[in-house]
Amino acid sequence: MPAVSESQQRLMGMVHAYKNGKLKKAPKKIKEVAKHISDEDARDFAKTKHKGLPEKKAASLIEIEMFIRGYIDRMRGQ
């Protein structure tokens, strides 16, 4: 699966390096992502070329709505 943005490609490159022991002092975010993704998937994201990719993927209205609904549901559960 190719990365959809340059920042996602860089993140997955760091995750892939961490999983292979090439990144010793990884930030907490890298370690957390590494727990939830296979090395093969991280490698597939990491090998995406930057040409033509945006720096960040703009969130769609559907993604924003899903985030807000999830937040409201979590707040109601407290």
List the chain pLDDT tens, one digit each, 78 residues. 677 788 888 888 999 999 999 998 999 988 988 888 888 888 988 888 877 777 777 666 666 667 667 767 877 875
| Residue 45 located in a structural domain | yes
Q: What is the pLDDT of residue 17?
A: 95
Q: What is the pLDDT of residue 21?
A: 93
| Residue 24 located in a structural domain | yes
Count of domains for the chain: 1
Q: How many CA atoms lie within 13 A of 12 on its CB side?
A: 23
| Residue 1 located in a structural domain | no
Question: Is the CB of residue 15 less than 8 Å from the CB of residue 8?
Answer: no
Per 3-state DSSP, what percentage of the chain is helix, strand, and coil (rounded to 5)?
A: 60, 0, 40
Question: Is the CB of residue 3 less than 8 Å from the CB of residue 9?
Answer: yes
Domain extent at residue 16? 6-77
Backbone angles phi, psi at 30, to 5 degrees: -65, -45
Q: What is the pLDDT of residue 7?
A: 83
